[in-house]
Structure 1
Amino acid sequence: MAATQDMAITSPPPDGISDLCFSSQADYLAASSWDNQIRIYEIQPTGQSIPKASYSHEAPALCVDWSKDGTKVVSGGADKAGRMFDVATGQSTQIAAHDDAIKGIKFLDQGQQVLATGSWDKTVKYWDLRSPQPIGTVQLPERVYSMDIRQQLMVVGTADRHVVLFDLNNPTTIFKQTISPLKWQTRTVSCFIDGTGYAIGSIEGRVGIQYIDEKDQARNFSFKCHRDDAKNVFSVNDISFHPTYGTFSTCGADGTIVFWDKDSKQRLKSFSNMNGTIACTAFNRSGNIFAYAISYDWTKGHKLATPGNTNQIMLHSVLDSDIRPKLNNKTRR
């Protein structure tokens, strides 16, 4: 069972939970799931949750994001469509299209109206919500598995361990293309809150911390996590950065969650095992609520995707002492 003080969301998705995202304007949480649905929940100060709205894709929903002003939710799915839900009107419309499933969807930090989508069709496309056609398309070396945006930085992790970096001042040109520092398939990428680098997680129970600037390359490092005493190795399914401190969480197929400080290279907090794979995570805008989904992550294939699998979204009240960076003797930058 989850920690007793963590609260379960009311009416969670009945099928695999693929992504979680909080609004940056209020404590509203959006969740995408394999039952084709996007669900939106209001999280009250007591930790109670109220289902507020939902809308549908025509196939499993794989990713979700909020507009910066908190008025719209966007999502991508295996129906090859990007969809937008207007919170005020309750209407959803298609706003993006690819030739294969959309695995990543993110609003650019610079504009309310522009978003990026990444697909298994090996492209990233940029969309202005006022136009039905993409305003830019970039060919990638492989299928998109994960992507993230922070300030001017967009990081796209693809199949075959490619990592493609974009400077969003020049979004249709690849800024840098590299190979993951990890030896096995990329599962997740997540940008530092200041946009100076990113964390990357793989199926081999390992995380890489990577800086963009050439002068900072000596600060790059990787570490093992989500492994057990019997030397079993588990997938790192998601990495979420705290919005204030820049510390971060990892969650894994081993059923555990850990908070980390990359600057002091320390583990800050370990959660007890949830007895179910942790598929995805998210901090709210102030970083005092941490949401995590106990849900099958497909790391063992379709044979373990049984109807009896747990699907829960849990809310953890974050103690400042559990997520605040630890002081170390090195110069902090």
Structure 2
Amino acid sequence: MAGLFASSAQTASNTLGKLEGDVQLANGPEDSISDIAFNPNPADQKDFLAVASWDKKVRIYEIMSNGQGVGKVASDHEGPVLSVDFFKDGTKVLSGGADKQGKVIDLGTGQSLQFAQHDQPIRSVRYFEANGTPMAVTGSWDKTIKYWDYRQSTPAGVLTCQDRVYTMDVRNDLLVVGTAERYINVVNLKDPTKFYKTLTSPLKWQTRVVSCFTDSMGFAIGSIEGRCAIQYVEDKDASLNFSFKCHRDPAQGNVTDVYAVNDISFHPVHGTFSTAGSDGTFHFWDKDAKHRLKGYPNVGGSILATTFNKTGSIFAYAVGYDWAKGFQGNTANYPNKLMLHPVEADECKPRPSVKKR
């Protein structure tokens, strides 16, 4: 299936996207951004964006109609913050970091409260609901995932993984956990104390990101080898699984430059998705038509994290150094910024299906 998606060098003119309308968020973090999340509540007319950074802070901005952000709330951790996620109602933000703590921030009061503790850094934190109760799940380098009622100081449940948790995502009752050594664990949150399914990633190299489909029927996997895999949960849908190459520069002689896929985000309305990588580009894809919708020019630095707002009209992406080239690549003038891309009507719409007669 790899050949069904064109590489960045094969971009046709009609699929080349533009960056001219992108706006840089003012007063951004002072160090690299590790994660970003938009308020998902459709009843809230405002867009709030939570930003986790290596400067040990969580910042929450209100995004104005002109694309500029106004800082609303900031909260401190004792180490780099690695993950953020909003409550479904948009009133609170979860965060987790290298200080091994999980915190909840109330947007109304600006107060933060520690609710989670691990033995090693918390790599990922996600919100979910259990029988209507707001809950959090944290994944750590201590090889565990823990479930929390954020009002309690002890976990509601613990699952031990095969290795360190590198990435995690939740959609409805689907929890997907990617660990070191390419293990992928699938959990049904209606039965959260056991793995529904465990598989080895179909990609050959280290897992960088997992992201659930909007309909929770499956998930996408991104790896350091410039590949993305589309994986359905149920065995009956296994024929729909495939992987493809992306974020690679064409061969110069016999050499192809390969870049990590750092993040994958699904469009909340259309169910199409983005990939973003160390090569400084992002692309929009239609998994059902196996088609790239748009590819974008290099933004000047590695893209670390991405997310869509609740209507899919804004695509946010963080630019910064991802250590893909070691310490020598971390120069003083390397960009560190958060960009907001206005999504035009046709950029993320699925490709019209062609029915065989």
TM-score range normalised by the length of the shorter chain: over 0.9
Whichever of the two has the greater Rg, that structure is 2
- Which of 281, 294, 298 is residue 306 of structure 2 equivalent to? 281
Contact 1:190-1:240 at 8 Å conserved across structures? yes
Q: Secondary structure at the match of 2:258?
A: coil
Aligned position for 1:27: 47
Aligned position for 1:103: 123
Aligned position for 2:10: none
Instruction: Determine the C-alpha separation between the residues in 1 that align with 2:133 and 2:191.
Output: 17
1:73 aligned partner, one-letter code: V
Whether 1:237 aligns to 2:237 is: no
Instruction: Determine the C-alpha separation between the residues in 2 that align with 1:94 and 1:292.
Output: 28
Deviation at 1:46, TM superposition (A): 1.7
Superposition RMSD in Å: 1.3
Deviation at 1:302, TM superposition (A): 3.2
TM-score normalized with structure 2 length: 0.90
TM-score normalized with structure 1 length: 0.97
Aligned position for 1:8: 24
Moved over 3 A (4+): 109-112
Instruction: Determine the C-alpha separation between the residues in 2 that align with 1:204 and 1:24.
Output: 31
Deviation at 1:307, TM superposition (A): 3.5
Structure 2 unaligned segments of length 5 or more: list them.
1-17
Aligned position for 1:87: 107
Contact 1:113-1:130 at 8 Å conserved across structures? no
Instruction: Determine the C-alpha separation between the residues in 1 that align with 2:154 and 2:129.
Output: 21
Aligned position for 1:319: 344
Aligned position for 1:250: 275
Q: Secondary structure at the match of 1:303?
A: helix
Whether 1:129 aligns to 2:145 is: no
1:298 and 1:112, CA in 2 relative to 1: closer, same or farther beyond 3 A? farther
1:84 aligned partner, one-letter code: V
Q: What does residue range 187-226 of structure 1 map to in structure 2 within 5 Å? A: 187-226=208-247
Contact 1:10-1:51 at 8 Å conserved across structures? no
Percent identity of equivalent pairs? 52
Instruction: Determine the C-alpha separation between the residues in 1 that align with 2:322 and 2:133.
Output: 31
Deviation at 1:275, TM superposition (A): 1.7
Instruction: Determine the C-alpha separation between the residues in 2 that align with 1:21 and 1:64.
Output: 6
1:330 and 1:93, CA in 2 relative to 1: closer, same or farther beyond 3 A? farther
Instruction: Determine the C-alpha separation between the residues in 2 that align with 1:14 and 1:270.
Output: 29
Structure 1 unaligned segments of length 5 or more: list them.
none
Deviation at 1:308, TM superposition (A): 2.7
Instruction: Determine the C-alpha separation between the residues in 2 that align with 1:88 and 1:115.
Output: 19
- Which of 89, 97, 103 is residue 77 of structure 1 equivalent to? 97
- Which of 64, 70, 73 is residue 53 of structure 1 equivalent to? 73
Which stretch has the larger CA shift, 292-301 or 92-101? 292-301
Instruction: Determine the C-alpha separation between the residues in 1 that align with 2:56 and 2:291.
Output: 38
